[in-house]
Amino acid sequence: MKTNIVFFILLLFSLTPSFSFCQEINKSAYSNSTTTNDRIYLESEVDIKPKLMYGENAMQRFIARNLKQDIKEPVVPKIVCSFIVEIDGTISDIKVLNSVSEHYKAQTIKVFTKFDEPWYPAVKDKKQVRCQYVYTIN
């Protein structure tokens, strides 16, 4: 009886990695989908939101290293910007949405232009789509 219980527990633990592998396979919706170029969707309109391939921490670290604060300018508590995540994983149409000085607008656009980490595009109805993404820098 104890042998059967031990065997059952070992069987359960051996299936656990398979479960995480299945989760990875489900992410293939990003790469195996057909594409459409016409419309730009909002984050709330898509089935799967765009994601950075290497995680949002990569973007936060990049911004912290590259966004320079001008001593002459007052400190800005947050900068809200938007951009389009394209189907090929790049970003375009970078804009600063809140009212900040021209220095911070230019710096923010420059930093996001230099950021070249790839994105998983948004998915709508099993098709990769262009999506507007809003990002806040605190």
Contact status, residue 131 vs residue 121, Cβ threshold 8 Å: yes
What are 67-78's pLDDT values in tens digits? 887 777 777 888
Q: Mean pLDDT in the chain?
A: 77
What are 89-138's pLDDT values in tens digits? 999 999 999 988 888 899 999 999 999 899 999 999 999 999 999 999 88
Compute CA distances 53 → 3, 38, 75, whole Å: 44, 24, 31
The pLDDT confidence band at residue 37, using thresholds 50, 70 and 90, is low
Burial of 26 (0-12, 13-18, 19+ CB in 10 A): exposed
Strands 127-137 and 34-42: parallel
Compute CA distances 58 → 42, 87, 117, 130, whole Å: 23, 20, 8, 21
